[in-house]
Amino acid sequence: MTTDPANSTPDGASGMDSVGRARRDTLRQDDRPASRAWFGRAIDAIPGGVHSPVRAFRSVNGSPVYFDRAEGARFFDVDGNRYTDYCMSWGPLILGHGHPDVVSSVIAAAGRGLSYGACHPGEVELAELIAGAFSQFDQCRLVNSGTEAVMTAIRLARGATGRPWIVKFDGGYHGHSDGLLVKAGSGLITSAATTGAEPSSAGVPADVASSTLVAPLGDLDAVADLFKAHGDKIAALIIEPVPANNGLLVQGDDYLAALRAITEQYGALLIFDEVITGFRVGFGGYGDAAGVQADLVTLGKIIGGGLPVGAIVGGRELMEHLAPVGPVYQAGTLSGNPLSCAAGKATIEALSDGAVHAAVEALGAYLEERINVARNGTWPQIRRVGSIAWLYFDETPIPTAAADVSTTHVRRFNALHGPLLDRGHYLPPSAFEVLFLSAAHSAAELDRLVADIVELCAEID
Ligand SMILES: *Cc1c(COP(=O)(O)O)cnc(C)c1O
């Protein structure tokens, strides 16, 4: 750190608006003065102090930690405190922070130029590696984020089918493009298209939102009704095959198969948004593992190894609706960036022999077992798919639909987040986010996490 943040914006200098409140909250964190000072500066320079909202720690009533470096599963803040990272950049880092093969590939690529805006071998190799990991797909278009991948997949679906609407699920997150920032009130299931679904962000025009129909997870009849009423207008149905952005709302593989059947019946495309699950649960996509083939799969996170990336994968015939072959336009100055390609290729190659997936599955199973032993029949509970885990701080059954996440869980999680952080466990700062394990985590770290959770849970109601 070359600047002394303590010399910058002093804490609590301005009035007590929502921003001022965020500053005052940080005062209890006496062992993080440098983080506190950086956040004070950030609030003036960046809206809300952050470049992505959940990083602001608002829902857990805390203040962001500023990091200096990360290594394996370890995270070191600007005050010199050490944490075990259970967020792992929200999913990309299945190998851990700074895996030597990934870092050396990126350094080597950087030495040959940072961006070409032109063709190079690395982008072909990565596209081949990715498409080759899907049994039914032969083509891959690289973009720069998961948001961009989904946005492109939707446009491609509309272009290929000539239909205007899409179906998503309540609690499914697919990035922040206009048409996907839509939630539904419970009465909207069959009327959304005519009455207008309600956007979940300001700035999304009602007529954009009304092209997105929202169904509750797990309710096949609701989906069937939507298609019965509007089937000839629906271009695609999009789902995270393991919904992991609103807790971990695991649906059965039968459910995915039923969605496949319904979409096929009405000539709509099925899109699996595998930005989290792609190369996380196994090599390639979750759909292949579940025996359900989507028409298009969107990827991000792991396939960039920690650098910005996204991808759309599909069969050649469908993919060639994209420009420059077809009429669906899509482009990107930095797409196929040589550094992202190098990091992605090194990461995917490191996963190819299955050892990493076996190791993180074993760690996940260990965490699950320790939590289940420790909780003694009550709470916290855990739901897990491979190395993705959601701790549920209530005794009621773990929900499988967004509307059923209990306020008790949220209240308890929010109460525990700060104390866990103080004990060196960096969990994603939201009750609705999952934990990610990596090959760099150890059973000893999980033991400490579980012991601290058990101890802290005993202190709250
Ligand atoms: C993270 C995520 C996205 C968005 O990816 P970004 O790279 O953040 O734009 C889309 N879909 C799912 C399922 C995600 O988890």
How does pLDDT run across 417-426, given as a tens digit for each residue?
A: 999 999 999 9
User: 193 pLDDT band (50/70/90 cuts)?
Assistant: very low
d(CA 6, CA 76): 19
271 lines ligand 1 (CB under 6 A): no
* pLDDT > 70 in the chain, percent: 90
Q: Comparing 26 with 253, which gets the higher pLDDT? A: 253
What's the confidence (pLDDT) of residue 17?
35
275 lines ligand 1 (CB under 6 A): yes
Q: Which of 88, 89, 150 to mutate to test the pocket of ligand 1 (most atoms within 8 A of CB)?
A: 150
d(CA 207, CA 358): 46
How does pLDDT run across 126-175, given as a tens digit for each residue?
A: 999 999 999 999 999 999 999 999 999 999 999 999 999 999 999 899 99
Please list, residue by residue across 305-315, b when 16 or more beta carbons sit within 10 angstroms of its beta carbon and e when fewer do.
Answer: bbbbbbbbbbb
Q: Which residue type sits at 252?
A: G
**Where are the chain's structural domains?**
120-351
304 lines ligand 1 (CB under 6 A): no
What's the confidence (pLDDT) of residue 273?
98
Q: Which of 93, 174, 217, 240 to mutate to test the pocket of ligand 1 (most atoms within 8 A of CB)?
A: 174
pLDDT at 188 over 90: no
What's the confidence (pLDDT) of residue 26?
36
141 and 297 Cβ atoms separated by less than 8 Å = no
* Residue whose CA is at the smallest distance from ligand 1 atom 6: 146
Is 173 designated active site?
Answer: yes
276 lines ligand 1 (CB under 6 A): yes
User: 197 pLDDT band (50/70/90 cuts)?
Assistant: low
DSSP collapsed to 3 states, the chain: CCCCHHHCCCCCCCCCCHHHHHHHHHHHCCCCHHHHHHHHHHHHHCHHHCCCHHHHCCCCCCCCCCEEEEEECEEEECCCCEEEECCHHHCCCCCCECCHHHHHHHHHHHCCCCCCCCCCHHHHHHHHHHHHCCCCCCEEEEECCHHHHHHHHHHHHHHHHCCCEEEEECCCCCCCCHHHCEECCHHHCCCHHHHCCEECCCCCCHHHHCCEEEECCCCHHHHHHHHHHHHHHEEEEEECCCCCCCCCCCCCHHHHHHHHHHHHHCCCEEEEECCCCCCCCCCCCHHHHHCCCCCEEEECHHHHECECCEEEEECHHHHCCECCCCCECCCCCCCCCHHHHHHHHHHHHHHCCCHHHHHHHHHHHHHHHHHHHHHCCCCCEEEEECCEEEEECCCCCCCCCHHHCCHHHHHHHHHHHHHHHHCCEECCCCCCCCEECCCCCCHHHHHHHHHHHHHHHCCCC
Which of 21-30, 203-212, 407-416 has the lowest average pLDDT?
Answer: 21-30
* pLDDT (mean) for 210-223: 94
List the structure tokens of 314.
Answer: 């599909």
Q: Kindly give the number of the ligand 1 atom that is closest to the alpha carbon of 148.
A: 9
Which of 60-64, 192-196, 220-224, 443-447 has the lowest average pLDDT?
Answer: 192-196
User: 181 pLDDT band (50/70/90 cuts)?
Assistant: confident
What's the confidence (pLDDT) of residue 199?
82
User: 183 pLDDT band (50/70/90 cuts)?
Assistant: low
* pLDDT (mean) for 237-264: 97
Whole-number Å distance, alpha carbon 230 to ligand 1 midpoint, is 28
Mean pLDDT of the chain: 91
245 lines ligand 1 (CB under 6 A): yes
List the structure tokens of 174.
Answer: 């697919």
* pLDDT > 90 in the chain, percent: 84
How does pLDDT run across 346-398, given as a tens digit for each residue?
A: 999 999 999 999 999 999 999 999 999 998 779 999 999 999 999 999 999 99
306 lines ligand 1 (CB under 6 A): no
Whole-number Å distance, alpha carbon 275 to ligand 1 midpoint, is 6
What's the confidence (pLDDT) of residue 187?
34
Is 266 designated active site?
Answer: no
* pLDDT (mean) for 43-60: 95
What's the confidence (pLDDT) of residue 13?
35
DSSP collapsed to 3 states, 3-50: CCHHHCCCCCCCCCCHHHHHHHHHHHCCCCHHHHHHHHHHHHHCHHHC
Q: Kindly give the number of the ligand 1 atom that is closest to the alpha carbon of 277.
A: 13
What's the confidence (pLDDT) of residue 15?
32
Q: Comparing 21 with 48, which gets the higher pLDDT? A: 48
Using alpha carbons only, what angle is made at residue 133 by residues 132 and 136, rounded to the nearest 5 degrees?
A: 75
Catalytic residue, candidates 77, 273, 288, 394: 273
427 and 420 Cβ atoms separated by less than 8 Å = yes
Q: Kindly give the number of the ligand 1 atom that is closest to the alpha carbon of 310.
A: 7
* Residue whose CA is at the smallest distance from ligand 1 atom 11: 174
280 lines ligand 1 (CB under 6 A): no
How does pLDDT run across 11-47, given as a tens digit for each residue?
A: 333 333 333 333 333 334 578 999 999 999 999 999 9
CATH 3.30.70.100 fits 120-351, yes or no: no
Is 233 designated active site?
Answer: no
145 lines ligand 1 (CB under 6 A): yes
User: 345 pLDDT band (50/70/90 cuts)?
Assistant: very high
List the structure tokens of 123.
Answer: 């982008």
List the structure tokens of 1.
Answer: 């750190």
Q: How far is CA 179 from CA 88, 166, 182, 198, 246, in A?
A: 28, 9, 7, 11, 18
209 and 183 Cβ atoms separated by less than 8 Å = no
Whole-number Å distance, alpha carbon 313 to ligand 1 midpoint, is 15
